[in-house]
Amino acid sequence: MSPPKPVRKAVFPVAGLGTRFLPATKAVPKEMLTILDKPVIQYAVDEARQAGIEHFVFVTGRNKAVIEDHFDFQYELHDTLEKRGKQEALDILAKYQPDAGTTSFTRQQKPLGLGHAVWCAREIIGDEPFALLLPDMVMKDKKGCLSGMMDLFRETGGNIIATEEVAWAETHKYGVIERGNDRGAGFEITGMVEKPKPGTAPSNLFINGRYILQPEIFDLLEKQKPGAGNEIQITDAMQKLAKTQQFFGHLFTGNTYDCGSKEGFIRANLAFALDDPELSADLLVEISKLTT
Ligand code: G1P
């Protein structure tokens, strides 16, 4: 078997309104709220870069222009820092600066669901496999969830979905997969369902927001009718694609924080701060003060 076409591009759907964080998200997109010193979106982009992604495709919406600014080269800032000899700050900017021509932005004109947002990237992705990262799901892991998926993809080709175990009582909040036989470092996926009714989930392995998909998904998304929540769901289109192509599961064992919720967002801030040698000692003292 010839090796699968490489995964060079990643899609980041960032059109959501972020109503759970109002009023913070009235003028600032939820993806720009910060976990420690980086905006939420930066974590998914870093994970993609670590996995070898070369082109970053953002599906934005109204009021999201600042995301584009964040990934642009800020000439005035750069110039001022240089004149002031602020090398440390310049190094930070350089570390996170995507190369010219490696980002693309397109708009999801109507909020019709995640599947529709992904479909909006079809022209930029073209005829090659691509990664999909939902930036609300912030992952903390040395290797990176997408890197683990890429290893599996090089072995199996096809489509890859990252999964994690969740309490059975929580399965109705997510997409859930049915696990088949082991395959390489992962396993075959024999079924999937978006937001199963309580008590009906085929497993407690939920889809954690990281995917590698073949471009044939776009034609299916184009025809996809609204599903759960009356939205066009990526899971429903993947279910159809699974009739003609293989899907494999990667079990992610790092930490995931759902930063679409306040609780997940605070947890993520705590986890990254406690990992920072400059902050952890004082923070632990503060936490113990607050909790005793
Ligand atoms: C989306 C996906 C779902 C996945 C979840 C992970 O749902 O449709 O399959 O489990 O992201 O966060 P949403 O969070 O948009 O409701």
The total of other beta-carbon atoms located within 10 Å of residue 272's CB is 18
Q: Is 114 in the pocket of ligand 1 (CB under 6 A)?
A: yes
- pLDDT tens track for 38-67: 999 999 999 999 999 999 999 999 889 999
Does the CA dihedral 108-97-18-137 come out positive or negative?
positive
Type of residue found at 55:
H
CATH code, 9-290: 3.90.550.10
User: How far apart, in whole angstroms, are the C-alpha atoms of residue 219 and residue 58?
Assistant: 20
User: How far apart, in whole angstroms, are the C-alpha atoms of residue 73 and residue 86?
Assistant: 17
Question: Which residue, by CA, sits nearest to atom 11 of ligand 1?
Answer: 209
Q: Is 175 in the pocket of ligand 1 (CB under 6 A)?
A: yes
Which residue bears the tokens 């009021």? 63
Classify 59 as helix, strand or coil: strand
- pLDDT tens track for 109-133: 999 999 999 999 999 999 999 999 9
Q: Is 209 in the pocket of ligand 1 (CB under 6 A)?
A: yes
Q: Which residues contact 73 (CB under 8 A, 6 or more apart)?
A: 97, 100
Question: Which residue, by CA, sits nearest to atom 14 of ligand 1?
Answer: 174
Classify 45 as helix, strand or coil: helix
User: How far apart, in whole angstroms, are the C-alpha atoms of residue 255 and residue 251?
Assistant: 12
Q: Is 39 in the pocket of ligand 1 (CB under 6 A)?
A: no
- pLDDT tens track for 162-209: 999 999 999 999 999 999 999 989 999 999 999 999 999 999 999 999
CA atoms within 13 A on the CB side of 83: 6
